[in-house]
Amino acid sequence: MSGATLFIDGIAFWAPTLPGWEAARSAFRGESEPLATPAKRPAPDILAPAERRRAPDTVALALEVAAAAVRESGLDAATLPSVFTSAHGDLAINDYMCSTLASAPTLISPTKFHNSVHNAAAGYWTIGTDCHEASTALSAFDESFGAGLLEAATQCLAEARPVLLVAVDVEAAGALASVTDSAGLLACAIVLSPHASERTVAAFDWSLVNATTRAAPIRSPAARSLAGNAMAGALPLLEAIATAEAGIDAGSIALPLTRSLALVLVARSPLKAAAGQPS
């Protein structure tokens, strides 16, 4: 398939040393350094005050970046279908659930249990924004970002409407750290649109390519410092968007989906995107 174009109308990022897209964009371009002192976990005001404090990391991070990306897009959150993707979900809650089950199973907290579902962030997001649109929660191990982007791009094209993509992974906790490879916190969100607008910051032609593909390299030292997170698969595209926003040709990026299939994105320059016909 060819001829599909994604227009990026809003982007957001959060990691403790790059707490926000402006900081990340500049660091990914090599124009600044990540923070020496990590920022405190965000407390998104979409959550009720009591929940801001209790919310699992995955929920707090997802809602922070989702809200920021939607704000950038100028769209109304309540109108956007959403795709949430995470390789492992909330590893701290999984650690809590499994250790409590091993020691005192009848003491499981009901709140922690309903927060343990993979779609917890999607649930809190739709509640907090009064959004009745479809939302989904996906997982695809190391390919979780690519799988989430494919689902969001597919929805965007099939239904000809903007879609919110939110990607989060957190640090492995407790005994899970002996099997699960994920360090630090990394969250990003992108509002995809099927057509160009005055908000468009970057545009990519996309297709599925049936070939054994290596993941696109992570180029900047700032992004490489986050490569241990299970959502690091998002970093090459984020670097490309940072480049495209500066008006430089960001080239093409391959996101592997399986051993012999990749989602390939080819950057259009923003000017061409804005002038182009709706696809």
Partner 1 sequence: MPDPIAPLRIAAYTVTSAAGVGKAALLAALRTGRSALTLNDFGPTPLPTWIGRVASLEAAPLPRSLAAWECRNNRLAWLGLNGDAFIDAVHAARERHGAARIAVVLGTSTSSIGATEDAYRHLDGHGAFPADNRNPQVHTPHSLASFVQEALDLAGPSVTVSTACSSSAKVFATAERMLRLGLVDAAVVGGVDTLCGSVLFGFNALQLVSAEPCRPFDAERSGISIGEAAGFALLERVDAAAGRPAGLHLLGYGESSDAHHMSTPHPEGLGAERALDDALARAGIDCGAVDHINLHGTASAKNDEVEAALVARRFPATTHASSTKGVTGHTLGAAGIVEAAASLLAIEQGLRPGTANTRVLDPVCGPQVRIEAAQAPVRVALSNSFGFGGNNCVLVFGDANAGGSR
Report the nearest approach of partner 1 to the CB of residue 7 (Å). Answer: 17
Which residues are 82's β-sheet partners? 135, 164
Which is nearer to partner 1, 33 or 205 (by Cβ)?
205
Report the nearest approach of partner 1 to the CB of residue 55 (Å). Answer: 11
Report the nearest approach of partner 1 to the CB of residue 21 (Å). Answer: 26
Which is nearer to partner 1, 201 or 234 (by Cβ)?
234
Report the nearest approach of partner 1 to the CB of residue 204 (Å). Answer: 16
Q: Which residues bind partner 1 (CB under 8 A)?
A: 1, 4, 81, 87-89, 94, 97-99, 101-102, 105-106, 108-110, 113-120, 122-124, 126-127, 129-141, 143-144, 147, 150-151, 154-155, 157-159, 174-176, 178-181, 208, 210, 257-261
Which is nearer to partner 1, 67 or 244 (by Cβ)?
67
Report the nearest approach of partner 1 to the CB of residue 46 (Å). Answer: 12
Cβ-proximal residues to 68 (8 Å cutoff; 6+ apart), any chain: 10, 12, 14, 20, 21, 189
Report the nearest approach of partner 1 to the CB of residue 140 (Å). Answer: 5
Tell me the C-alpha to C-alpha distance, in Å, between residue 68 and each of 45, 76, 87, 232: 11, 12, 22, 20
Which is nearer to partner 1, 50 or 179 (by Cβ)?
179
Which is nearer to partner 1, 139 or 269 (by Cβ)?
139
Report the nearest approach of partner 1 to the CB of residue 117 (Å). Answer: 5
Angle at 148 between CA 143 and CA 152, to 5 degrees: 150
Which is nearer to partner 1, 131 or 188 (by Cβ)?
131
* CA-CA-CA-CA torsion sign (241, 247, 248, 251): positive
**CA–CA separation, 125 vs 139, rounded Å?**
18
| Helix (H) or strand (E) run with residue 14 in it | strand 4-14
**CA–CA separation, 112 vs 270, rounded Å?**
44
Q: In this structure, are strands 82-85 and 163-169 parallel, antiparallel, or unpaired? A: parallel
Read off the amino acid at residue 173: A
**CA–CA separation, 176 vs 14, rounded Å?**
24
Which is nearer to partner 1, 154 or 269 (by Cβ)?
154
**Which pair of tokens denotes residue 150?**
């494919």
User: How is residue 258 annotated by DSSP?
Assistant: E
**CA–CA separation, 81 vs 102, rounded Å?**
38
